[in-house]
Amino acid sequence: MTASILFLLAGFFYLVAGLGLVRLPDSLARLHAGTKASSLATTLALAAALLHHRDPWSVTLALASILFVFLTAPLASHAIGRTILASRLPANPRAAPNAPKNPHPNPPRPAA
């Protein structure tokens, strides 16, 4: 029962991550919503698995996965954030109207 509730919470936070990826206005905000909410949701799902399967191998796997997610998710989101900043485009063009002209313009993809 506790495992089911934890897994339902995980599904809710995955939904929060997906909605943030669709609804938020610029890439850094999407990075914020997507990576943090989904790593929390993955941790909740793995905690549900840890409470549901009681054998030592499953507990070891779930703990190792939680540790791996907490080690690597910040590194991956940091790398993506550095890439966004290095593209020298203000993440939201309306946020910095007086910014200097971009030497490497990164035009938005035309609507297909």
Partner 1 sequence: MILLALILILLSMLACLWRLRRPTIAADRVIALDVISFQAMGALVGFSLLDNSPLALEAALAIALVGFLSTLALTRLLSSSPPSESS
Give the residues lining the site for partner 1 (CB under 8 A).
3-5, 7-8, 10-12, 14-15, 17-19, 21-22, 26-27, 30-31, 34-35, 38-39, 41-42, 45-46, 48-49, 52-53, 55, 57-58, 61-62, 64-65, 68-69, 72-73, 75-77, 79-80, 82-84, 86-87, 89, 103-106, 108-109, 111-112
The separation between CA 16 and the C-alpha centre of its own chain, rounded to angstroms, equals 10
What are the structure tokens assigned to 44, written together? Answer: 């909740």
Q: Is the CB of 98 or the CB of 111 nearer to partner 1?
A: 111
> DSSP states of 83-102 as a string?
HHHHTTS-SSGGG-TTPPPP
Q: Is the CB of 19 or the CB of 99 nearer to partner 1?
A: 19
DSSP H stretches of helix in the chain? 2-23, 27-52, 56-86
